[in-house]
């Protein structure tokens, strides 16, 4: 008969080990039960954080659209803003050591990481 669980081994600082032992004792659970619950809670936390991030982005887009509708920019203003943002991007890339040849790779890596 095969085992239905898998043993994991990892190290933590002594203070964390003590805290885990105290929590397990206080809640009358094993450390394994406590760990499984922590993983479930963290999974829910991550899912909620993703929802909150998406909500924040959607609100930001809505605010930007409202701002654009209330204060439309002329073509000259848009070109000026585009130049300003391009210069800013160049400065940031230079600070980070990013070369033009690196940009496509960085964008693709970022998008690959963001896929569920």
Tokens 């963001």 -> residue: 114
> 34: Cβ–Cβ under 8 A, 6 or more apart, which residues?
20, 23, 24, 27
Three-state secondary structure call for residue 45: helix
Number of Cβ within 10 Å of residue 98's Cβ equals 15
Q: Which residues does the chain have with pLDDT short of 50?
A: none
pTM over 0.85: no
- Distance, in Å, from the CA atom of 31 to the CA atom of 46, rounded to the nearest integer, reads 22
Provide the residue count of the chain.
116
User: pLDDT tens, 72-99?
Assistant: 999 999 999 999 999 999 999 999 999 9
Phi/psi for 103 (5° steps) reads: -60, -50
């Amino acid at each position: 008969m095969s085992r239905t669980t898998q043993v994991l081994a990892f190290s933590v600082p002594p203070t964390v080990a003590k805290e885990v032992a105290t929590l397990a004792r206080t809640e009358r659970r094993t450390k394994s039960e406590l760990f499984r619950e922590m993983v479930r809670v963290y999974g829910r936390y991550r899912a909620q954080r993703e929802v909150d991030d998406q909500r924040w982005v959607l609100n930001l887009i809505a605010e930007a659209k409202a701002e654009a509708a209330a204060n439309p920019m002329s073509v000259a203003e848009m070109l000026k803003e585009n130049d300003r943002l391009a210069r800013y991007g160049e400065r940031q890339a230079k600070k980070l050591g990013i070369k033009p040849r690196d940009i496509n790779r960085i964008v693709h890596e970022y998008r690959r990481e963001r896929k569920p």
